Structure 1
C-alpha cells in the first residue's frame, strides 16, 4: 500500500474537522480532533509493537498463556505507550481477560452505544496506564453537554471514528518520519485561524517564531525554556533550527509551562506527535508558581541557556502565595491594571544563565509607561551585567486577537563587546506583507532583521546603536524606550512644487529623486519625460495606464529582468543536479543552506532585487505549494447535499522531506502534470464539456429569471429589498403550476427541456472527469522512478519560477507606482483645471440660455 503523504493527511484532518464544524467553534472542537487523532496514533503504534512482541515471544517457544500475559505487561513496550484494552482501536476477545468478556468489547472502531462515555473511558485508562500522560487527556470530554444536551451526539462521534479509521498512523505508513507532527502543527494553525481572538491563547504565527529562534540561535546541548509555552511551537522550532544548522537535535533539552490546562494538553500531544518524548512540559502559573528550581538551591529558579516566550499581554497577577519572589530583583509591577508584562520579563531574566540569551514578545506599553514599570525598566537597563542587547519594533497586527503594537526584547547576559553600554534598536514596523485578517512577516523582512541584528548595523530610518546613557538620562529620555524617539521611520514630507502645480510640468528634482527605481532598469528619463530645460519636464505619455504599459514594455526593463531569469536558470541547473541526490549524498537542510546563499550571490549583483529579496525568493519557494489532486465530493448535512471542492496540496519543503525519505515517488506528481503530459486531447475535450455544462446552467437560470412572477411582498429593510434576489428554478416552477394557463404550461415544458439539457451536460462532464481520473490513476501506478523524478523536477522548477516572477513583478510595480504618483500630482496644473472649468461653465451657460432659463 502506498505511504501516506502530508497533503493526504492534512486533507484527512480537515475533513474530520468538517464533520464537527457548526456544532461549536474551532477553539472548542479542536480538542475532539486532537483527542481522536492521539487515540488513533497511540493505538496504531501499540498494535504494531504488540504484533512484533507476539512474534518474538512465540519464537522463544513460550506457551500461549504466557504470551498473552506478557503482551499485557506495559513494561515490555519500552518507549511505546501502552494502550489498555478499553482504548484499543480494534480488540480481539483473547486480548480482553475474563473481567472484560461480559462487555463483548471489540474496540473503539465498533462502538455503537454510549460512544461518548466509552471514548472518555479510553482516554482515562490511557492516562492511568502511562504516568507521563497524566492530565493530558482528562480535559477532553466527548460527552460535553450544554443545557443537558450532548453537543456532539453519538452518531457524529461514530462518523468521526469511521473517518479516522481510513489510515493507519504509524511512522512506517508516512512518506517521511515527522509527517504527523507537521500535520498536527498545520491543524493548530488552522484552528487558530478559525478561532480568531482565542487563537492567540495557544498559537504564535510561525514567521514570528522563526525570527525569534534565529535571533537567539539555540545549539545542541542547550536547555531551552518557554515559560508561556502555548502549543509548543517555539520549542519545536528551536529543535528544527538546530537540525537545519547541522546540530544534533536529540541533544537539545526542552522545557515549558502553561497555565491553561487545555493548551498545556495540546502542547504535550504536539511534542509526542513530533516524537519528542523527553520534553518537560508542565502545567501551572509561571508567575505565581514556577515549576523548576535550581538543582542545588531550591530557593532560586532554575536557569536555562535559551529562554523564549510570547506571554499573554496585559494580565493581572497576585503576590499572595507567590513562590520564589526573589526572581523579581528589579521590583514588582502593579498587581491590577493588567500590567504583569514586565513580571514575565523579570522571571525570564532570572531564568537565563549567566551566558544565556532570552527573547520575548512584549506590548509597546512596557517601553514607556511610568511608575513602578519605569523603575523596573531602568533597573533592567542599568543592570551591572549590561544585559539588554536589542529592542525590535514589529509590524502591526501580526498576532491573533490583538492589534496592540508589539516588540521583541532581546536579553544577552554575555552581550557582544560591540554593544557594550549600548542597545541595538530596530524599527521594523513598516516592512511587512498584508494578509486578509492579519499582517505577516515576509521572508525578506525576517532576513533584514536578522542580518542587521547579527552584524550590529545602523541603517537610517531602520536601526541605530543607542548608548544606554542617552536612554536613562533623567534630563532627557529618563528611561523612555519609545522606539520612534531613537529610530524614526516616518516617511519624509511629500514635496509639492507650487510653480508646477500652478503652471504645469514635473520638477526635475523629483524625477531625479526616483533614483534606483528607474535607473536600475536602464530606463532613460527621455523614455518617460521631455525636459523643458528650465528645471521642469513634461510627461511623454497621456495617462496612467499608458505610463504603466510604457514602463512594462521598456527595453531596459525587459533586459534587466531577462538577466535575472537567465541567472536564475543557471542557478537552477546546479540546484537540480543536487536535488536528484537528496537523501543519497545530499541532506535536505544542507541543500537549503547552500543554495539559499548561492541564489543570493547569483541575483543580488544584478541590481534589481536586494539581498533580502533574493533570499526571500528561495524562502518563498521553500514554502510554495502545488495541488497534487483536486476533486469534488458531496457533503451530506441532514436532507441537504453540498458539492465541495477538495484539494490535496503539498509544500516544496515537504516534497524535499519525502524525496529524502522515499525518493521521487508517484504521490508527489500532480494529476494536472500527468494529464498535460499524457492526455492533452482529453483535457481539451473536458474544457469543452465544462463550457457546455456552464452554458446549460446559465441558459436555464436566465430563462427562469425571465419569467415575470409579479411583485413579491417583502417586509425587509428597503435597502435589502432593493438588492437583486436570486431566483430559484424550483420557485419559478411552483409559481407557474399555480397559474395553470397554456402559457404557463408551455413555460414549464421549456424549463423541463432546459433542465434535461443541463442534466445531460453535467452527466457527460462527470463521466469524462471520472474516465480521465481513472486513466491518470492508471498512469500514476505505472510511473517509473525516472519518470517521477522528471515530473517532480518540473513541478519544483515551475514553483521556483512562479515565486521569482512574483518578486520581479512586485519590484517593477514599485517603479510604475512611483512614476504614476508624479502623474497624479502634476499631470493637470491649476491653470489647466481653471481653463477646463471655464469651458464647462460656458457650455452650461449656453445650454441654459437655449432653454430660456437665463438671458
Structure 2
C-alpha cells in the first residue's frame, strides 16, 4: 500500500492511463513520448531523493562549518537539483504559465549541474499541448513524497516495461524483466570490479548490481564501475536517466556492438551481464570475421546469438564471470555446434538455467540463463551445473510470468550449494530447499531429479555438447511433492510452445542448409 492509501499497482495503473492519454491526444509516436514521460518520473524521483537528503544534511547542521553544497549531496549518492528543477516550484507555477518551457528549463538546469546527464534529458516538452502537459504533470504528483525508493523504482520499471510492449522492441532490447536481472546478479555476485553490458538497454543490470552491493552494506560508487553500450541514442538517454535516478555514475556509449568496440573490451572486465536481442539476422559477418572478440569464428547460420556469446566471453579478464540471457534454441542449435563445442571444452561454462516462456513483455520465447566463470575452483573444474526452472514461476497475468523473491533466492541457493557456499533465507526460500533438498538449510549440493544436475565435460560431449538443462536433470521423482494440476498443465503447455518454436527454428536451419547446397551446385 502506498502512503496515499491506494495500492502500488493501482497507482501504476493511474499513472500509465495518464501517459496513455498523452499519446492518444498528441501527434507523438510511442518512441517519441516515452522519453518525456520517463523524464517526468525521473524528475519526481530525483526531487524525492533530493528533499530527503536535504533534510538529512540540514539535521547535521550543528556539526558543519560551511554551507551545504553539491558535493554533500553527491557524497550521499544523490543528484543535486537546482531551484528551477524542484518539483514544488514547478507545481506552484501560476495558471497560464508555460509549463513546457519551465520543464525544458528545469532539465537544462539539471544537466548544467550534473555532467553525466549532459545532452541526455528530454527538452521537448514545448511540443506537448499545455493542457495535456498540465494534466500529466499533476497526475504524476500523485506519486507521494514519502514513497519508498523500491516502490519508486518499480513505477519506473513498470513504465519502461509498458513502453517496451507499446513500441514492440524485439526480445527485451529495451527492458529486461527485473526478476530475471535479479537472478543473474545474485548468481554473478558483483561485489567489486568493472561491469560491462554491451546491450545495456535501460540499464537494469547496472541498477540491480548497485542494489546488490548496497544490500551487502557497501557504497556502489566505491565498489563497482559500470560500462555500457547501446545502438540507439534514445535508449542510451533512457539508460543514463535510469542510472542517475538510482545515484549511479556510468560510462554509457552509443554504438552497434557487433561492429564498434567502444570500450576496448577485450579481456578488460570482471563481470559481463547482458540480455541481447535474440536471433538477429543479416549481421555483416564479413566485416567482423577477423575481430579478436570472436575467437571461435562466425556461426554458419544467419543468426547473431553466438556472435553475442563470444563477445561476452572475450570481454572477461582472466578471473571474470558472465551471466546473460539467450533463447533456449541457442543451447543445442546444430548450426553452432563447432563454436559451442569449443566453448564447452574451454571449461568456462559454469551453470545453465532453463526458464519457461512468457517472462518477457514482447516475446513468448522460453530462454536460458548462461553463466561463465574463467576461474572455477578445483571442485568445479570440468563440470557444469544444469538447472531446469521451467516449472518455477509466478503467473502474474494471463500472458506474463516472473520469479518471486522466494523463487529467485531458491534458484540462487542451488548455485550457492554447488559452489560450497552458505544458503540465504531472507525471502523464505528455506521452505523450497526443504521440499527439494530435504533440509531448510542444507550444507551440501546434491543432484535432484527434474531440478538440477552437475554434468562432467565427458557427459556433455556424449550429448553432442548440448547445454539444454532438460537433457541432464531427468524427470522429477514421483515420490516428491508435486505441483497442482494447473502448474502441470502450464508446464506442459510451455514445453509444447517451446517445441513448436524449436521446430520452426529447425525448419529455418534446414532451408538455409538447402540453399547452401543449391548455391554450391550452381557454381
TM-score exceeds 0.5: yes
1:358 is displaced (CA, Å) by 0.9
Matched, 1:355 2:355: no
Against the structure 1 CA distance between its residues 77 and 452, is the aligned structure 2 distance closer, same or farther, given a 3 Å change threshold? closer
Q: In the superposition, relative to structure 1, how do residues 354 and 249 fare at CA in structure 2: closer, same or farther (>3 Å)? A: same
Q: Who is 2:392 aligned against?
A: 431
Cα offset, 1:374, TM superposition: 2.2
In structure 2, the partner of 1:142 is: 125
Residue among 370, 373, 381 paired with 2:344: 381
Match of 2:179 in 1: 207
State the partner residue of 2:296.
330
1:251 match: secondary structure = helix
Structure 1 Cα separation of the partners of residues 343 and 31 of structure 2: 37
Match of 2:39 in 1: 35
Q: Take 1:426 and 1:124, find their aligned partners in 2: how far apart are those partners?
A: 49
Q: Quick check: 1:133 aligned with 2:117?
A: yes
C-alpha contact 1:288 1:323 (8 A) present in aligned 2: no
Alpha carbons 1:109, 1:162 under 8 Å: kept: no
Tell me, which stretches of 5 or more residues in structure 2 are unaligned? 25-29, 419-445, 489-523
Q: Which of 252, 260, 263 is the equivalent residue of 1:281?
A: 252
Secondary structure of 2:292's aligned partner: helix
Task: Flag the 1:86–1:441 CA change in 2: closer, same or farther, 3 A.
Answer: closer
Please identify the structure whose Cα radius of gyration is greater: 1
* Counterpart residue number, 2:19: 20
Could you tell me how far 1:249 is from its partner in structure 2?
A: 3.8
Q: Is structure 2 residue 270 aligned with structure 1 residue 305?
A: yes
Provide the residue aligned with 2:402 in structure 1: 440
1:157, CA displacement in angstroms?
0.8
Q: What is the Cα deviation at residue 407 of structure 1? A: 0.7
How many angstroms apart in 2 are the aligned matches of 1:8 and 1:482? 40
Of residues 267, 284, 292, the one that matches 1:318 is: 284
Is 2:367 aligned against 1:406? yes
Supply the distance in 1 between the matched residues of 2:32 and 2:474 (Cα, whole angstroms): 43
Q: Residue 469 in 1 paired to residue 458 in 2?
A: yes
Tell me the equivalent position of 1:223.
Answer: 194
User: d(CA) in 1 for partners of 2:453 and 2:390?
Assistant: 14
SS of residue paired to 1:223: strand
**Within 5 Å, which residues of 2 pair with 1:239-318?**
239-255=210-226, 256-274=228-246, 276-293=247-264, 301=266, 303-316=268-281, 317-318=283-284
Q: In structure 2, how many angstroms separate the alpha carbons of the residues matched to 1:203 and 1:391?
A: 22
Aligned to 1:486: 472
Counterparts of 1:343 and 1:85, CA distance in 2: 48
Report the alpha carbon displacement of residue 133 of structure 1 after superposing the two structures with TM.
0.7
Distance 1:364 1:177 in 2: 34
3-state SS, counterpart of residue 207 of structure 1: helix
User: Of the candidates 314, 331, 346, which is equivalent to residue 367 of structure 1?
Assistant: 331
Check conservation: 1:311, 1:361, Cα contact below 8 A. Answer: yes
Unaligned runs of 5+ in 1: 61-69, 92-105, 145-151, 294-299, 493-512, 518-809, 818-855
Q: 1: CA distance between counterparts of 2:182 and 2:52? A: 36
Higher helix share: 1
TM-score, length-scaled by structure 1: 0.45
* Secondary structure class of the residue paired with 1:287: coil
Q: Are 1:200 and 1:401, in contact at CA under 8 Å, matched by a contact in 2?
A: yes
Q: Distance in 1 between matches of 2:459 and 2:286?
A: 37
What is the alpha-carbon distance in structure 2 between the residues aligned to residue 208 and residue 395 of structure 1? Answer: 11
Say if 1:112 and 1:201 are closer, same or farther in 2 by CA, change over 3 A: farther
Q: Which secondary structure does the structure 2 equivalent of 1:464 belong to?
A: strand
Give matches, 1:682-831, under 5 Å: none
Cα RMSD of the aligned pairs, angstroms, is 4.4
Indicate the SS of the match to 1:389: strand
Q: Report the Cα distance in structure 2 between the residues aligned to 1:305 and 1:163, rounded to whole angstroms.
A: 43
Q: 1:190 to 1:20 in 2, by over 3 A?
A: closer
Of 307, 310, 313, 1:343 maps to: 307
Q: Distance in 2 between the 1:282 and 1:325 partners?
A: 20
Look up the SS of the partner of 2:93 in the other structure. helix
Pairing 1:37-186 to 2, within 5 Å after superposition:
37-40=41-44, 109-110=93-94, 112=96, 115-116=99-100, 119-120=103-104, 122-124=106-108, 126-127=110-111, 130-138=114-122, 141-142=124-125, 152-164=128-140, 174=146, 180-186=152-158
> Does structure 1 conserve the Cα–Cα contact (< 8 Å) formed by 2:358 and 2:364?
yes
User: Residues 745-767 of structure 1, C-alpha deviation per residue, up to 9 Å, x if partnerless?
Assistant: xxxxxxxxxxxxxxxxxxxxxxx
Tell me the TM-score normalized by structure 2.
Answer: 0.70
* 2:447 counterpart (453, 458, 479): 458
Shift of the 366–465 alpha-carbon distance from structure 1 to 2, 3 Å rule, reads same
> Are residues 487 and 31 of structure 1, via their aligned partners in 2, closer, same or farther at CA, if it must alter by over 3 Å?
same
1:479-535, CA deviations, whole angstroms, 9 ceiling, x for partnerless residues? 34344443444x79xxxxxxxxxxxxxxxxxxxx7x576xxxxxxxxxxxxxxxxxx
Alignment match, 1:693? none
Alpha-carbon spacing, 1:291–1:8, altered in 2? closer, same or farther (3 Å): farther
CA contact (8 A) 2:196 2:272 kept: yes
- Once the 2 structures are TM-superposed, how far is the Cα of residue 83 of structure 1 from its aligned partner? 6.2
Structure-1 residue corresponding to 2:380: 419
Give the conservation status (yes or no) of the 8 Å contact 1:32–1:142. Answer: yes
From the superposition, tell whether residues 357 and 9 of structure 1 become closer, same or farther in structure 2 (CA, over 3 Å).
Answer: same
Cα displacement string for residues 123-147 of structure 1 (whole angstroms, at most 9, x for unaligned residues): 3554355432123224x63355xxx
Q: What is the rounded CA distance, in whole Å, between the counterparts of 1:46 and 1:210 in structure 2?
A: 26
User: Secondary structure of the equivalent of 2:402?
Assistant: coil
* Residues 518-667 of structure 1: pairs in structure 2 closer than 5 A: none
